[in-house]
Amino acid sequence: MHVLVAPGRFDARPDDGPARPRGVPAGDPWPALTAPEAVAAITAGWREGAPGDTLVPLPLSDGGPGLVDAVRAARGGDLLSVTTTDAHDAVVPGAVLVVHEPSGARTVYVDGALALGAADPGAVPVTATTSTGLGTLVAAALDTGAGRVVIGLGGRRTVAHDGGAGLLAALGVGAATGGLAGGAGDLRGLAELREALAGRDLVALHAHDLPLLGLAGVSADLAESGRADAEAAQDAERAMAAFVHAAGAAAEAGRPARRDLLAGGAGAGAGAGAGAGAGSAGRSGAARAPGSRAALVPGSGAGGGAAFALGLLGARLVEGAAWVADAVGLAARVAEADLVVTGAGVLDSAGLEHGVVGAVARAALPLGVPAVALAAQLRTGRRDWGAAGLAGGFAVLEHPDDAQRWRADPAAALRGRVPRVARTWSR
């Protein structure tokens, strides 16, 4: 039997309270597996349970950690090393991948996960974090001259939370502070940068649909996930709204005012305050604050708002798992398989909608190829994963003691769960 092994990263999201396994304290480390490591573990376990099957590896990504590795494994390309910084301004290694397309064009991939993260997420206040390191990587990608630049904005919750202020600063926009603590800074030159990039295809990959502002935005998510108390989250929201207003006005500088038919006023620069950017614009007939519409778009909060800043520069906002699936030719690989085995750290409704598992299920269902998923934690039932197109869902952590086994050796824990699945599905 021909089995396609196509998982994403196995990350149990230790910053997500509801997703934490029972018996694991909040401050304890929770190891993850990269997509290639998950492929190796699943392959080893499958060969134990069904040694006669032919296994084809295809690591995937949702636009978060491992984007460059997944694309390079399937497409090849030239890897360029770039020294950059993380969300706390510490020096970290980085890289961009230049892929040569069959048409002769070039596409550059940027994995922003490391630049938007930090070794100790709580070491500095949320409003002092920065996306400057991502801007350094994007600048290096633009310097290659490639016509298309694809930017992965990390997972659901990144450490950087500055609306993309640091990213804009790294790209030469005025004297942007690179964080929310110092205010919006000088954003002159933003409109000119947008015009300079008009001939380039910028693609921002998101792994969730949280907007930048609002009651369901990324600042509110800070409190929900326990990364900030309610007061700090509100402070971050107010600072973000002020930045959105300033950045929106700078991006529209020199352009004719646009009439907002929903608000009944001019859409750009007509006197709405920063508070309107937080979601109050529109129904009173007052003018909408510059940038507020873009800050309410689903996914604009990806990368702590870096998606919003890239949108101001003309970037397209695209679901990461779907883009990677197309980039690596997932549908063609599925069509050649008898069975697809995928997986993720946590399989829940969000993973089915925006993650690697959901992308695999959507590719397999129309072709009539069964797809089964493995997860460290299975947090959805048969009704949900069946409706999404999966033929089976299997948890690695089935018993309380399994959490300790995963923490000791996640690859061995995953590998140990696979033989039973293989014996069930192999024919």
pLDDT in tens, 294-326: 999 999 999 999 999 999 999 999 999 999 999
Exposure class string for 375-386: b at 16+ Cβ within 10 A, else e: bbbbebeeeebe
- Tokens 């990039």 belong to 197
Half-sphere exposure of 306 (CA within 13 A, CB side): 43
> Between 376 and 275, where is the model more confident?
376
Q: Are residues 230 and 311 in the same domain?
A: yes
Share of the chain above pLDDT 70, in %: 85
Give the contacts of 192 (CB within 8 A, at least 6 positions apart).
Answer: none
For the cut 60, the answer to whether the pLDDT of residue 261 exceeds it is no
**What does the pLDDT look like over 9-62, one tens digit per residue?**
998 654 444 444 444 444 455 788 999 999 999 999 999 999 999 999 999 999
For the cut 60, the answer to whether the pLDDT of residue 120 exceeds it is yes
Q: Are residues 25 and 88 in the same domain?
A: no
CATH of the domain at 166: 3.90.1510.10
In whole numbers, what is the pLDDT of the chain averaged over residues?
86
pLDDT for the residue 156: 79
For residue 98, tell me if it sits in a domain: yes
For residue 300, tell me if it sits in a domain: yes
Confidence of residue 288 (pLDDT cuts 50, 70, 90): low
**Total Cβ atoms within 10 A of residue 92:** 16
> Between 214 and 265, where is the model more confident?
214
Confidence of residue 226 (pLDDT cuts 50, 70, 90): confident
Q: Are residues 46 and 82 in the same domain?
A: no
Mean pLDDT across 413-424: 96
Structure tokens at 225: 């996930």
* Residues β-bridged to residue 344: 375
State which of 158-162, 278-282, 376-380 shows the largest mean pLDDT. Answer: 158-162
Q: Are residues 216 and 175 in the same domain?
A: yes
CA distance 64 to 355: 10
For the cut 70, the answer to whether the pLDDT of residue 82 exceeds it is yes
Q: Are residues 123 and 207 in the same domain?
A: yes
How many folded domains does the chain comprise? 2
Question: Which domain covers residue 103, as residue numbers?
Answer: 60-252+292-323
pLDDT for the residue 316: 96
Q: Are residues 228 and 310 in the same domain?
A: yes
For residue 269, tell me if it sits in a domain: no
pLDDT for the residue 14: 43
pLDDT for the residue 97: 98
Weakest-pLDDT range from 8-17, 64-73, 116-125? 8-17
For residue 273, tell me if it sits in a domain: no
**Total Cβ atoms within 10 A of residue 308:** 33
Q: Are residues 136 and 188 in the same domain?
A: yes
Q: Are residues 307 and 343 in the same domain?
A: no
> Between 242 and 282, where is the model more confident?
242
Alpha carbon separation from 206 to 71, 159, 214, 268, 384 (Å, rounded): 16, 15, 18, 27, 22
For residue 383, tell me if it sits in a domain: yes
- Tokens 């991502």 belong to 134
Contact (CB, 8 A) for 149 and 138: yes
Contact (CB, 8 A) for 299 and 206: yes
CA distance 270 to 202: 29
Q: Are residues 107 and 181 in the same domain?
A: yes
